[in-house]
């Protein structure tokens, strides 16, 4: 019975301290949040995505040109 009580109390304490830690981390992250930085990050990701799609289309068109040329 004492073992179970000990582990129950340890679990409660771990939960309390874990919740406190998570709350502090969330508060720190919210304090560091900046809309301009978020917009810059999203814009950078969109630029990378567009460049990837453009490169992909160029590769597909290049392969299509190679396969459509007649061979003698």
C-alpha span between 70 and 66 (Å, rounded)? 9
The residue whose two tokens read 């009580």 is 5
Q: Please give the pLDDT value at position 31.
A: 87
The secondary structure element, H or E, covering residue 57 is helix 35-68
User: Over the stretch 36-70, which tens digit does the pLDDT of each residue have?
Assistant: 989 999 999 999 999 999 999 999 998 887 777 66
Q: How many Cα atoms are found within 13 Å in the side-chain-facing hemisphere of 23?
A: 6
Nearest to 2 by CA among 54, 32, 71, 10: 10
- Could you tell me the pTM of the whole model? 0.50
Q: What percent of the chain has pLDDT over 90?
A: 68
Domain ranges of the chain: 1-33, 34-72
C-alpha span between 28 and 47 (Å, rounded)? 29
User: Has residue 72 got a pLDDT over 90?
Assistant: no
């Amino acid at each position: 019975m004492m073992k179970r009580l000990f582990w129950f109390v340890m679990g409660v304490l771990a939960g309390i301290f874990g919740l406190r830690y998570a709350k502090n981390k969330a508060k720190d992250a919210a304090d560091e949040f900046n809309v301009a930085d978020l917009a810059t990050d999203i814009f950078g990701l969109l630029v990378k995505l567009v460049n990837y799609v453009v490169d992909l289309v160029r590769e597909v068109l290049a392969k299509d040109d190679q396969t459509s040329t007649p061979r003698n």
